[in-house]
Amino acid sequence: MRVLFDVLRDGLAAINAAREQMEAARNQVATGRRVVAPSDDPLAMQQAVGEYATMGAIDAYRRSADSAASRLAATDTVLAGFVDKLTAAVVAATSGRGSNKTAAERSAAAAEVRSLRDALVGDINTTFRGTALFAGTRVDQQAYVASGGGYTYQGDSAAVQVEVDRGRLVSVSYDGQAIAQGGDPVDVFTAMETLAAAIEAGDDDAIGVGIAALDRTFDRVSRLQGRLGADERGVDAATARLSAMRLAADGRRSKLEDANMAEAITRMNEADIAYRAALSAVSSAERVSLLDYLK
Amino acid sequence: MSGLFESLTSASNALNAHRLGLDVTGQNMANINTVGYSRRVLQLAEQPPADLLSAGRGVEVLGVRALRDEFLNARLRGEQGSGAFNDAVVESLATIEASVGPAGAALDQRMTEFFDAFAALADDVTSLPARDGVVEQGRLLSQAFGDLSARLALTRRDANLSIRGAVDEVNRLSQEVAALNQQIMANGPEAEALRDQRGVALARLSELAGATVMQRPDGAVDVTIGQGRALVVATNAYAIDAQPTGPSGDLLLTLGGITITSEMASGRIGGLVHGRDVVVPAHQGRLDQLAFDIATQVNAVHTAGFDLNGAAGVNFFAVPGSVAGAAGTMAMNAAVAADSRLVAGSATGAIGDNGNARDLAALREAGVMTGGATAAEAWAEFVYHVGSDVAGARSASTSHTQIINQLLQLRDQASGVSLDEEAAHLMRYQRAYEASARYFTSIVETIDTVLEMVR
Asked if the model's pLDDT at residue B80 lies above 60, the reply is yes
CB-closest option in B116, B352, B384 to A46: B384
Q: Across all residues in chain A, what is the average pLDDT?
A: 91
| pLDDT at B1 (0 to 100) | 52
Condensed to tens digits (0 to 9), the pLDDT of residues A142-169 reads 999 998 888 999 999 999 999 999 889 9
Residue A47: its chain B contacts at CB < 8 A?
380
B171 to each of A81, B47, B77, B182, B265, how far by Cα in Å? 91, 49, 18, 17, 18
Counted domains in chain A: 1
Condensed to tens digits (0 to 9), the pLDDT of residues A49-62 reads 999 999 999 999 99
- Of B131, B8, B89, B407, the residue nearest B277 (C-alpha): B89
Across the range A58-76, mean pLDDT stands at 95
Q: Where are the alpha helices (DSSP H) in B348-418?
A: 355-362, 375-415
Is B388 in CB contact (< 8 Å) with chain A?
A: yes
Give the count of alpha carbons within 13 A of A286, CB side only: 15
Return the higher-pLDDT residue of A168 and B3: A168
Q: Is residue A187 part of a domain?
A: yes
Q: Is B35 exposed, middle or buried (0-12, 13-18, 19+ CB in 10 A)?
A: exposed
Residue of A nearest to B99 (CA): A37
Sequence-separated (6 or more) residues with CB below 8 Å from residue B397: B83, B86, B87, B89, B90
Question: Which of A2, A10, A164, A286 is the best mutation test for B, with the most CBs of B within 10 A?
Answer: A2
| pLDDT at B190 (0 to 100) | 61
Asked if the model's pLDDT at residue A289 lies above 80, the reply is no
| Phi-psi category of residue B217: left, alpha or beta, with phi > 0 → left and psi -120 to 50 → alpha | alpha
- Of A27, A61, A32, A44, the residue nearest B103 (C-alpha): A44
Condensed to tens digits (0 to 9), the pLDDT of residues B139-179 reads 999 999 999 999 999 999 999 999 999 999 999 999 999 99
- Of B320, B356, B338, the residue nearest B139 (C-alpha): B338
- A57 vs chain B: nearest CA distance in angstroms? 8
Asked if the model's pLDDT at residue B301 lies above 60, the reply is yes
Percent of residues, chain B, with pLDDT higher than 70 = 99
Residue of A nearest to B419 (CA): A289
Q: What is the pTM of this model?
A: 0.85
| Phi-psi category of residue A182: left, alpha or beta, with phi > 0 → left and psi -120 to 50 → alpha | left
CB contact under 8 A, A10 and B409: yes
Q: Is residue A45 part of a domain?
A: no
CB contact under 8 A, B364 and A42: no
CB-based contact B375:B387 (threshold 8 Å): no
**Angle at which helices B375-415 and B280-302 cross, to 10°:** 170
Q: Give residues 166 to 195 of A whose Cβ lies within 8 Å of B.
A: 166, 173
| pLDDT at A287 (0 to 100) | 67
Residue of A nearest to B354 (CA): A160
Residue A1: its chain B contacts at CB < 8 A?
413
CB contact under 8 A, B122 and A41: no
Is A286 in CB contact (< 8 Å) with chain B?
A: yes
Across the range B357-369, mean pLDDT stands at 94
Rounded to the nearest 10°, the torsion over CA A86, A91, A95, A98 is: 80
- Of A283, A1, A14, A278, the residue nearest B412 (C-alpha): A1
Beta bridge partners of B236: B233
Q: Give residues 28 to 87 of A whose Cβ lies within 8 Å of B.
A: 35-43, 45-50, 52-53, 55-57, 59-61, 63-64, 67-68
Q: Is residue A53 part of a domain?
A: no
CB A106: neighbour CB atoms within 10 A? Answer: 21
Question: Which of A7, A27, A52, A67 is the best mutation test for B, with the most CBs of B within 10 A?
Answer: A52
Q: How far apart are CA B275 and CA A32, in angstroms?
A: 33
- B340 vs chain A: nearest CA distance in angstroms? 17
Q: Across all residues in chain B, what is the average pLDDT?
A: 92
Asked if the model's pLDDT at residue B2 lies above 60, the reply is no
- Of A282, A260, A216, the residue nearest A17 (C-alpha): A282
Residue B391: its chain A contacts at CB < 8 A?
39, 42
CB-based contact B264:B253 (threshold 8 Å): yes
Q: Is residue A287 part of a domain?
A: no
CB contact under 8 A, A9 and B408: yes
Residue A131: its chain B contacts at CB < 8 A?
124, 126, 352
**Angle at which helices B191-209 and B128-185 cross, to 10°:** 160
Q: How far apart are CA B300 and CA B312, in angstroms?
A: 12
CB contact under 8 A, B420 and A36: no
B338-348: b (≥16 Cβ within 10 Å) or e: eebebbbbbbb
DSSP B142-185: HHHHHHHHHHHHHHHHHHHHHHHHHHHHHHHHHHHHHHHHHHHH
Total beta-carbon pairs less than 8 A apart between chain A and chain B: 186
Condensed to tens digits (0 to 9), the pLDDT of residues A13-44 reads 888 888 888 888 888 899 898 998 999 999 99
Question: Which CATH number is A97's domain given?
Answer: 1.20.1330.10
Residue B388 binned pLDDT confidence (cut-offs 50, 70, 90): very high
Condensed to tens digits (0 to 9), the pLDDT of residues B7-64 reads 889 999 999 999 999 999 999 999 988 888 999 999 999 988 878 777 788 899 998 8
CA angle B433/B436/B441 to nearest 5° reads 125
CB contact under 8 A, A41 and B108: no
| pLDDT at B136 (0 to 100) | 97
Per DSSP bridges, beta strands B59-66 and B212-215 are: unpaired
CB contact under 8 A, A294 and B362: no
CB-closest option in B116, B383, B427 to A45: B383
Q: Give residues 325 to 384 of B whose Cβ lies within 8 Å of A.
A: 346, 348, 350-355, 358, 361-362, 364-365, 374, 376-377, 379-381, 383-384
Q: Is residue A136 part of a domain?
A: yes
Across the range B209-219, mean pLDDT stands at 91
Residue A130: its chain B contacts at CB < 8 A?
126-127
Q: Is residue A46 part of a domain?
A: no
B355 to each of A160, B182, B359, B361, B363, how far by Cα in Å? 8, 82, 6, 10, 13
Is B112 in CB contact (< 8 Å) with chain A?
A: yes
Q: Where are the beta strands (DSSP E) in chain A?
A: 127-128, 131-132, 144-147, 150-153, 161-165, 168-171
Across the range B305-329, mean pLDDT stands at 94
Asked if the model's pLDDT at residue A1 lies above 70, the reply is no
- B376 vs chain A: nearest CA distance in angstroms? 6
Residue of B nearest to A170 (CA): B123
Q: How far apart are CA B222 and CA B216, in angstroms?
A: 7
Q: Find the distance separating the first CA and the last CA of chain B, reported in whole Å.
A: 15
Q: Is residue A114 part of a domain?
A: yes
Query: Which of A93-97, B220-224, B291-295 shows the lowest per-residue confidence on average (mean pLDDT)?
Result: A93-97
- A122 vs chain B: nearest CA distance in angstroms? 20
The top-scoring range by mean pLDDT among A263-267, B67-71, B360-364 is B360-364
CB-closest option in A13, A45, A63 to B119: A63
Q: How far apart are CA A64 and CA A160, in angstroms?
A: 13
Across the range B347-352, mean pLDDT stands at 90
| pLDDT at B454 (0 to 100) | 77
Across the range B198-224, mean pLDDT stands at 93
Is A276 in CB contact (< 8 Å) with chain B?
A: no
- A222 vs chain B: nearest CA distance in angstroms? 25
| pLDDT at B4 (0 to 100) | 82
Q: Give residues 192 to 251 of A whose Cβ lies within 8 Å of B.
A: none
Is A150 in CB contact (< 8 Å) with chain B?
A: no
Q: Where are the beta strands (DSSP E) in A113-251?
A: 127-128, 131-132, 144-147, 150-153, 161-165, 168-171
Sequence-separated (6 or more) residues with CB below 8 Å from residue B42: B17, B20, B21, B24, B61, B64
Q: Is residue A258 part of a domain?
A: no
Condensed to tens digits (0 to 9), the pLDDT of residues A119-133 reads 999 999 999 988 999
B112 to each of A12, A49, B362, how far by Cα in Å? 45, 11, 11
CB contact under 8 A, A47 and B390: no
| pLDDT at A286 (0 to 100) | 63
Say how far residue B246 (Cα) sits from the centre of its chain.
Answer: 25
CB contact under 8 A, B127 and A130: yes
Backbone angles phi, psi at A33, to 5 degrees: -120, 140
CB-closest option in A10, A132, A257 to B103: A257
The parent domain of residue A72 ranges over 67-251
Q: How far apart are CA A22 and CA A28, in angstroms?
A: 10
CB contact under 8 A, A294 and B426: yes
How big is chain B, counted in residues? Answer: 455
Per DSSP bridges, beta strands A144-147 and A150-153 are: antiparallel
Asked if the model's pLDDT at residue B188 lies above 70, the reply is no
